[in-house]
Amino acid sequence: MNIKTLKIFSDLVDRASFSKVAKQNGVSQSAISQKIKILETKLEVSLLEKKQKTFQLTPEGIVFHRHAQVILSEYETMLRDLHNYDSKVLGNVHIFANYWIGIYLLPGYVREYLKVSKNFDLDVNYGDCNCMQTVISDLWSDLIILEFPFNHDEFISEQFAEDEFVAVCLAQNISKGQQTFSFANFKSLPLIGFTKHHPLRSIFENAIGKKIERPRYFMEFNQVELIKQAIEIHNGIAILPKSTVFSLPNGHHLKAMPLKNMHIPIPLYFIYRKNRKMNRAMEHFIEILKRKPLIC
């Protein structure tokens, strides 16, 4: 019995898939099964009970897994001490983020992570809410970063930052000295919005409720950049997260302004599995998410 075997067993419990654990550890599925059998023979107990295509831990397996977690944790602590772990991060972290978060918000946190993390492996995947079920089912992501909490018994959602909605239109439609944009201005310009089931549209429309007349959209898209292009082509207006436009240089043809008498926040969450054992890389990235304020 060695650390590698303990890690494979722990990964198998966490991911509940021989094929995924085999791929993760660079071995065959048969090698995984063989290691488990050898382990059971040495311990003289049965650790897993197979049921058709799935398996579950036996009572002995539960005890073994609990102690294996302790041993693996102590092993990582030893590595931290041996390699001056305060200045280095060992391990990797896999992240999934919605397109607009990944493009406009996540890079700031990644740059901060790179400044202080020398030994690391950071993988980021981008997608939209339509591929969320795939992300959840394939167990690839250590962290999922979204603009809404994921309400599921197997996941924990923690808010770490906040964006806000602003009005965006061509600079020529902003009067001299104008500081905010009223919803009354929307009637004079084509409204470009997110598609019906996009999380940002839901957040916006739930926030306005019955305070104003429900907006009628001239065009709908699922990505921020397409909305920006439509604003320019059709001389339209849109409601977008401030982070997606706050860095526009002076003199740019698009202009962003706060909404008049209304602040609509966009909460941002990092989401992870309850049973996912965090390595130091994942813990360190979460620390950066929590301590680095979002400045728009």
> Domain ranges in the chain?
3-82, 162-266
Per-residue DSSP letter, 136: H
- The tokens for 193 are 């919005």
At 32, the pLDDT band (50, 70, 90 cuts) reads: confident
Per-residue DSSP letter, 94: E
C-alpha 54/C-alpha 77 separation (Å) is 33
End-to-end C-alpha distance for the chain, whole angstroms:
52
Q: What are phi and psi of 239, to 5 degrees?
A: -105, 115
C-alpha 200/C-alpha 148 separation (Å) is 9
Name the residue type at position 94: H
* CA proximity to 142, closest of 267, 245, 279: 279
What region, left, alpha or beta, does residue 10 occupy, with left being phi > 0 and alpha being psi -120 to 50 degrees?
alpha
What region, left, alpha or beta, does residue 84 occupy, with left being phi > 0 and alpha being psi -120 to 50 degrees?
left
DSSP H helices in the chain = 3-15, 18-25, 29-43, 59-82, 99-104, 106-116, 132-138, 199-208, 224-234, 280-291
C-alpha 128/C-alpha 156 separation (Å) is 20
CATH fold of the domain at 162-266: D-Maltodextrin-Binding Protein; domain 2 (3.40.190)
pLDDT of residue 1: 61
What's the pLDDT tens digit per position in 36-74? 888 888 888 888 887 767 788 888 888 888 888 888 888
pLDDT of residue 31: 84
Query: 6 with 71: CB under 8 angstroms?
Result: yes
What's the pLDDT tens digit per position in 156-203? 999 999 999 999 988 888 777 788 888 776 777 889 999 988 999 999
Lowest model confidence (mean pLDDT) among 91-95, 185-189, 225-229: 185-189
The 10 Å Cβ neighbour count of residue 286 is 18
Average pLDDT over all residues of the chain: 82
Query: What is the mean predicted confidence (pLDDT) over 84-88?
Result: 52
pLDDT of residue 266: 94
C-alpha 231/C-alpha 217 separation (Å) is 12
Specify the CATH class of 3-82 in words: mainly alpha
C-alpha 253/C-alpha 62 separation (Å) is 62
Query: Residues 280, 281, 282, 284: is their CA dihedral positive or negative?
Result: positive
C-alpha 9/C-alpha 39 separation (Å) is 10
C-alpha 270/C-alpha 1 separation (Å) is 36
pLDDT of residue 89: 47
pLDDT of residue 119: 66
Specify the long-range contacts of residues 150-156, CB closer than 8 Å, at least 24 apart: 150/269, 150/271, 153/274, 154/273, 154/274, 154/275, 155/271, 155/272, 155/273, 155/274, 156/271, 156/272, 156/273, 156/274
What's the pLDDT tens digit per position in 237-292? 999 999 998 766 565 688 888 988 889 999 999 999 888 778 888 888 899 998 86
